[in-house]
Amino acid sequence: MEKQQQIVMSGIRPTGLLHLGNYFGALRNYVKMQEEYECYFMVADLHSLTTHPDTKELKQNVHRVLAENIASGIDTDKAALYCQSHIHETAELYLYLNMLAYKGELEKTTTFKDKVRQQPDNVNAGLLTYPVLQTADIVLHRASLVPVGKDQEQHLEMARNFVNRFNHRYGDVFPEPFAFNYGSELVKVPSLDGSGKMSKSENQNATLYLADEDEVIRKKVMKAKTDAGPTEQYSQKPDYIENLFLLMKLVSAPDVIEKYENDYNNCVIRYGDMKKQLGEDMVKFISPIREKVNSILADEKYLQGVMEKGAEKARKSARATIEMVRQAMGLNYY
Ligand code: TRP
């Protein structure tokens, strides 16, 4: 397929295990996009330093995120898969963009205010300028399509502001970046405790990780909240039951889902059986990914090759952009 002109860029912070929400919300979209667009997918290791200054586990976490991307279907021949810190041009662009970002607007950012609350003893400047670094990641490849979740909308709005300020002052260099997820509907992957979404850090027993062992998956699913079942035909499902059906729709066969829908509507549903089925279908879905991740992690040489190849591709695009930026800014004295 002839690739489209627009460029796709996104990043994942290596601060925890990837879960089913990351898979259906992000990775699966990446895999589709790599067929149609020039794509840059990045492990945001520098961003993780704003909240995780201790780097003891960083290498391991970076390797894991890379392996999880590949095991989920990222093809390193199609997309550039790389580490943020390998591309030094990012730091340079971050510096230039920092001159166009105002303290007031940075302080108003929702994610910044959240972090101030979560880590009052480490309100560092990196945290404040987090959205500037993110903008640098994106526009370093002159990307305009950014597959991210709702929580990143504000960062993208800020990125558009920084880009417009740059273009206005120094000339048109960057396209405006927008959140992009194939149509408007993001797949919601509910957590197993009936409230909220699956999450990297919160309620880990209600989140299914790509790294979970089969027995752990079964146990977590069996613990999901249910009740005695409906007493009236075709009644509305409570949230926690609706969520079980949503999860089933992600991994189970259509006839299985239909059977439990019918059982529910006819008030003969057995939630124990349903959860057993869901547990098995989750195991069938997750275990091949987990095994693939493990075999990739066992091969450090291969991972090193992946990182080198990704960095080379990303650097090529980064250097071209930085050259344009320096010219536009008048930082060319020879
Ligand atoms: N801030 C993003 C998150 O927490 C991660 C990220 C870093 C990112 N750089 C990016 C996302 C560039 C998209 C584009 O999820």
Lowest average pLDDT, out of 146-150, 228-232, 310-314, 316-320, goes to 146-150
HSE, CB side, 13 Å, CA atoms: give it for residue 190. 18
The pLDDT score that the predictor gives to residue 184 is 60
For residue 319, report the phi and psi dihedrals to the nearest 5 degrees. Answer: -65, -40
Q: What pLDDT sits at residue 182?
A: 81
Is 237 an active-site residue? no
Whole-number Å distance, alpha carbon 65 to ligand 1 midpoint, is 14
Q: What CATH number labels 204-294? A: 1.10.240.10
Residue 328 CB less than 6 A away from ligand 1: no
Is any atom of ligand 1 closer than 6 Å to the C-beta of 44?
yes
pLDDT score recorded for residue 202: 74
Q: How far apart, in whole angstroms, are the C-alpha atoms of residue 320 and residue 334?
A: 18
State if residue 9 touches ligand 1 by the CB under 6 angstroms criterion: yes
CB 134 less than 6 A from any atom of ligand 1: yes
- Return the pLDDT at 165: 98
The CATH fold of domain 7-180+300-329: Rossmann fold (3.40.50)
Which of the 8 DSSP states describes residue 197?
B
Q: Is 78 a catalytic residue?
A: no
Nearest CA to ligand 1 atom 8: 11
| Residue 12 Cα: closest atom of ligand 1 | 5
Sign of CA dihedral 131, 136, 137, 141: positive
Question: Given ligand 1 and candidates 8, 12, 51, 90, which is best to mutate, with the most ligand atoms within 8 Å of its CB?
Answer: 12
Average pLDDT, the chain: 96
Confidence band (pLDDT; 50, 70, 90) for 181? Answer: confident
Q: Is the pLDDT of residue 8 over 90?
A: yes
What is the whole-number distance in angstroms between the Cα of residue 48 and the centre of ligand 1?
10
Tell me, yes or no, if the pTM score tops 0.85.
yes
In this prediction, residue 1 carries a pLDDT of: 64
Arithmetic mean of pLDDT, 260-264: 98
**pLDDT the model gives residue 289:** 98
Which residue lies with its CA nearest to atom 7 of ligand 1? 11
pLDDT attached to residue 334: 86
| pLDDT at residue number 38 | 97
What proportion of the chain, given as a percentage, has pLDDT over 90? 90
Mean pLDDT of 61-87: 98
Mean per-residue pLDDT for 177-194? Answer: 84
Provide the pLDDT for residue 195. 81
**Residue type at 145 in one-letter notation:** L
Mean pLDDT of the region 268-297: 98
The ligand 1 atom at the shortest distance from the C-alpha of residue 155 is: 1
**183 — alpha (psi -120 to 50), left (phi > 0) or beta?**
left
The conformation of residue 25, written as its DSSP 8-state character, comes to I
User: What is the CA(231)–ligand 1 centre distance, in A?
Assistant: 46
Give me the residue label for tokens 């995780």.
Answer: 52
Q: How far is CA 6 from CA 3, 33, 176, 226, in A?
A: 9, 11, 11, 46
- For residue 317, the model assigns a pLDDT of 98
E-strand spans in 166-310? 178-179
| For the chain, domain boundaries | 7-180+300-329, 204-294
For strands 145-146 and 80-83, give the pairing: unpaired
Q: How far is CA 243 from the centre of its chain?
A: 21
The Å distance, Cα 43 to ligand 1 centre, comes to 9
Write the single-letter amino acid at 44: A
Q: Please report the pLDDT score of residue 11 as a whole number.
A: 97
What tens digit of pLDDT does each residue of 112-131 get? Answer: 999 999 999 999 999 999 99
Q: For residue range 158-169, what is the model confidence (pLDDT) as tens digits?
A: 999 999 999 999
Active site residue 3: no
